[in-house]
Amino acid sequence: MTLIRLLKIVAAVARNRLDNLIDLERSPFWLRCFLILLPWRYFIRNDAPRGERIRLSLEALGPIFIKFGQILSTRRDLLPDDISDELSRLQDDVPPFPAEEAIGIIESSLGNDVDTLFARFDREPLASASVAQVHTARLHSGDEVVVKVIRPGIDRVIRKDIGLMYLFARLLITLSKDARRLRPVEVVADYERTIFDELDLLREAANCSQLRRNFLASPLLFVPQVHWDYCRTKVMVIERIYGVPVSDIATLKAQNVDMKKLAERGVEIFFTQVFRDRFFHADMHPGNIFIDTTNPAEPRYIGIDCGIIGTLEPEDQHYLASNLLAFFRRDYRKVAQLHVDSGWVPRDTPVGELEAAIRTVCEPIFEKPLKDISFGQLLVRLFQVARRFNMQVQPQLVLLEKTLLNVEGLGRQLYPDLDLWTTAQPYLEKWMKDQVSPIGIACNLKEQGADWLLSAPVMAQKVMSTVRTLVDQQQAFHHQQVRAEKRQQKQRRFGLLLLLAGVAVVAASGSLFVEKELLDQSMLGILAAALGGWLIVR
């Protein structure tokens, strides 16, 4: 099976002439010979742009490679823009698997037949994707729900395909120095974590529940309710939502939705998730977003599919807010210093050089009107510059970058004149002021006070343990010093005895000359006296 899969991959490479992406002039001699001998070079021609050829190859290899391409398209800190743009066009459109298989998974997971579990179960799937498909149903309580079911056998398919991806990643590292800069093995490992997380629907249900709780009383975002009694690793049941797909702009306009407010609210939702909750939906492509148009003047977002969620540490949060505000003010020195102070680049990085590199990238961007500046692209350029100074972009920041690009692109689709900077700057400034205001400090103390009190006994024990360790170490050092002094005294006494004995031997030898030879005792005496003197002064 793996051999057949490998042959399909080779066929896709040949058909789309991906071998042409390797620079022959910069390749080692043996690789040039290998590429020249490839048979399809002489009868297959493909002059399409490289991004398009890569996209078509991934589409030919099926859903797992398509999903890999989708995730790869978010790594704009690694890939050229033309390839990233083309990969972002990949569509996760997979034929549904039979309803009988879905029912079998539901019944084995929930321990009962679907007719008992649900008042109604629709065998025709509502949607189908590479990892799972969705059916509609009604609970006995009358609630309309959707049932998400993991595709049967998908874990085995994923493991085989990821094994091949690792093989190609290691091959790329061997073949090309340029490929090493893209860190292909790390990218595949990142994808492996992401896709296997998506196979655990309990994790997605927990993410969905948390996001719903964060926005429960908010007019900005609605997240459907999870029905926990019906959730297992391979099955998830959540409230069914009704809304207009965010990509259906014609319908939104026909229903007189305030498009400017809708776009601005999307930005506000993003910043609320990042700077209030540090917990954000990281898969906000148009297929996962709907709009509640009940009140067109106050449109509300509906978010689904929480399989990929990003979280930020407080340090990440402060780093982002401070950097973005410094960018707003064109204070590149502060941006560079923040990178060094936060540890994102090595401590010995010359701040002046980093400042100059950031200025070179940002000044052309700021020459544009504010509404034409891409917030997400600026973050991408920042990461690209910082990488030259050995910055390792953290996974949570990659997810943040991807989400921001999605939010920005979506906002400008809804309202082309959206000025993301004007929308974001007051929010960021208010957040920073709140953090250092007396009320903000008091809130932080209140939140952390209970943790401090609970951890106080443990901390006291640690302090006492540390003090005891230091005392023990000091006592051991003192005893060691005493023992060393005693050894030195013994050495001096022994040295004195050797010195005296040596002098005595030399003196005796001097009075015992035989006519033709000097006795060996005189040499031994001299050596003994020298050794004794050394031991005394040592």
Position 392 scores a pLDDT of 63
Is the separation of the CB atoms in 162 and 191 below 8 Å? yes
Say if CB 442 and CB 433 are below 8 A apart.
no
The residue annotated as part of the active site, out of 161, 283, 292, 305, is 283
SS3 content of the chain, % helix, strand, coil (to 5): 65, 10, 30
Q: What is the pLDDT of residue 531?
A: 65
CA distance linking residue 256 with residue 249, whole number of Å:
11
pLDDT on residue 459: 61
Model confidence band, residue 205 (pLDDT cutoffs 50, 70, 90) = very high
Closest CA to 266 of 432, 434, 427, 81: 427
> How confident is the model over 25-75, as pLDDT tens digits?
666 676 677 777 777 777 777 778 888 888 888 888 777 778 778 777 766
pLDDT at 5 over 80: no
Token pair recorded at residue 124: 């025709």
Q: Residue 241 is encoded by which pair of tokens? A: 């939502």
Residue 362 corresponds to which tokens in the numbers above? 């940002």
Which uninterrupted H or E stretch holds 289?
Answer: strand 289-292
Q: Which pLDDT belongs to residue 378?
A: 72
CA–CA dist 302, 306 (Å, integer): 12
List residues bridging with 514 in a β-sheet: 517
Give me the pLDDT at residue 512, please.
44
Side-chain half-sphere exposure of 300, counting CA atoms within 13 A: 16
Q: Where are the alpha helices (DSSP H) in 342-394?
A: 351-366, 375-388
* DSSP element (H, E) containing 144: strand 144-150
Quick one: DSSP state of residue 219? S
> Alpha helices, DSSP H only, in 154-298?
154-175, 177-181, 184-198, 201-214, 249-254, 259-272
In single-letter form, the type of residue at position 482 comes to V
Shortest CA distance to 284 belongs to which of 177, 374, 160, 408?
408
What is the C-alpha separation between 239 and 254, in angstroms, rounded? 27
pLDDT per residue as tens digits for the range 430-446: 776 776 555 544 544 45
Asked whether residue 125 carries a pLDDT value surpassing 90, the answer given is: yes
Residue 231 CB neighbours (<10 A): 22
Say if residues 514 and 495 touch (Cβ distance below 8 Å): no
Q: In Å, how far are 381, 445, 446 from 458, measured between CA atoms?
A: 45, 19, 20
CB burial of 407-442 (b: ≥16 within 10 Å; e: otherwise) equals: bbbbbbebbeebbbbebbbebbeebbeebeeeeeee
Identity of the residue numbered 136: T
Q: CA angle, corner 31, sides to 26 and 33, nearest 5?
A: 110
The four Cα atoms 118, 122, 127, 129 give a dihedral, to 10 degrees, of 70
Tell how strand 289-292 and strand 279-281 pair up.
unpaired
Percentage of residues in the chain having pLDDT higher than 90: 22
The residue with tokens 């006995």 is 140
pLDDT value for 86 = 81
Distance CA 107, CA 50 (A): 46
Which pLDDT score, from 0 to 100, does residue 538 have? Answer: 63
Q: How many CB atoms lie within 10 A of CB 330?
A: 13
The span from the CA of 174 to the CA of 172, in Å, is 5
| SS3 per residue for 383-418 | HHHHHHCCCCCCHHHHHHHHHHHHHHHHHHHHCCCC
Q: What is the mean pLDDT of residues 177-190?
A: 70
Judge whether 142 and 240 are in contact, CB under 8 Å. no
Mean pLDDT value across residues 245-274: 90
Tell me the per-residue pLDDT of 448-492, one tens digit each, with 9 for 90 and over: 555 545 555 666 676 667 777 767 777 777 777 777 777 777 776
The residues that bridge with 257 in the sheet, in sequence order, are none
**Active site (annotated) includes residue 348:** no
| Torsion (CA) 19, 20, 23, 24 in degrees, nearest 10 | 80
CA-closest candidate to residue 69, choices 151, 159, 191, 247 = 191
Model confidence over 304-345: pLDDT tens digits? 988 888 888 887 777 777 877 787 778 888 888 887 877 777
C-alpha to C-alpha distance for 274 and 268, rounded to whole angstroms: 10
